């Protein structure tokens, strides 16, 4: 379900802790070129929370978004099953994940809940499903179902 209404949540709830994890990770953003600082936090199906921040590079193109940093950190820790991701950036309109991150999240996270929140209000500003943000996704199903090779 997609919602653009902020939902107040109990302090200390898993969602609020996930938001805090994303906000804390954002503090470590390396964004000297864009000055656009992003934090993300993934929650595993067992309740673990792993944060990430964007890490820019002087080549620009080698920059990695907060969402992929969080995901790759989680995978390196042996996590493979995810429930939701929180993304925080200081924008009036909630910042959604870029197209590349949507694709990579789909590969590992499936139809995650994607929660956009604001680092100052610490509130949720929008909730999506990844399948809504990445309709008709390409994934490994197509590789195994491909037509007979020549
Ligand atoms: N960025 C993210 O980390 N996540 C997003 O969802 C959007 C963009 C970063 C990449 C780059 O460091 C900066 O924001 C500007 O694009």
For the chain, the structural domain boundaries read 4-149
Give the integer Cα–Cα distance in Å for 122 and 20. Answer: 8
pLDDT tens-digit map of 16-66: 999 999 999 999 999 999 999 999 999 999 999 999 999 999 999 999 999
Strands (E), the chain: 38-44, 49-53, 82-89, 113-117, 124-129
Kindly state if the Cβ of 36 falls inside 6 Å of ligand 1.
yes
Q: Give the distance between the most distant pair of CA atoms in the chain.
A: 59
- pLDDT bracket for residue 150 (50, 70, 90): low
Buried b (16+ CB within 10 A) or exposed e, 92-124: eebbbbeeebbebbbebbeebbbbbbbbeeeeb
What is the Å distance from ligand 1's center to 108 Cα?
19
Substitution candidate for ligand 1 out of 54, 61, 117, 133 with most atoms within 8 A of CB: 54
Mean pLDDT of 74-92: 98
- Say how many Å lie between the CA of residue 8 and the centre of ligand 1: 26
CATH architecture observed for domain 4-149: 3-Layer(aba) Sandwich (3.40)
Q: Is any atom of ligand 1 closer than 6 Å to the C-beta of 26?
A: no
98 C-beta closer than 6 A to ligand 1? yes
pLDDT(106) > 90: yes
> What element of type H or E holds 101?
helix 99-109
Q: Is 67 known to be catalytic?
A: yes
Catalytic residue among 43, 67, 113, 148: 67
User: What is the model's pTM?
Assistant: 0.92
From the CB of 43, is ligand 1 less than 6 Å away? no
């Amino acid at each position: 379900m997609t919602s653009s209404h902020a939902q107040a949540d109990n302090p200390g709830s898993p969602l609020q802790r996930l938001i805090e994890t994303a906000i804390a990770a954002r503090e470590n953003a390396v964004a000297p070129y864009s000055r656009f600082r992003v934090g993300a936090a993934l929650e595993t199906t067992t309740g673990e929370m792993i944060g990430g921040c964007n890490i820019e590079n002087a080549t620009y193109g080698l920059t990695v978004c907060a969402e992929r940093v969080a995901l790759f950190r989680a995978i390196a820790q042996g996590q493979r099953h995810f429930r939701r991701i929180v993304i925080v950036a200081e924008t009036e309109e909630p910042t959604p994940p870029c197209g590349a991150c949507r694709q990579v999240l789909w590969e590992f996270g499936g139809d995650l809940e994607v929660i956009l929140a604001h680092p100052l209000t610490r509130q949720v500003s929008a909730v999506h499903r990844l399948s809504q943000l990445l309709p008709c996704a390409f994934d490994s199903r197509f590789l195994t179902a491909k037509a007979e090779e020549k």
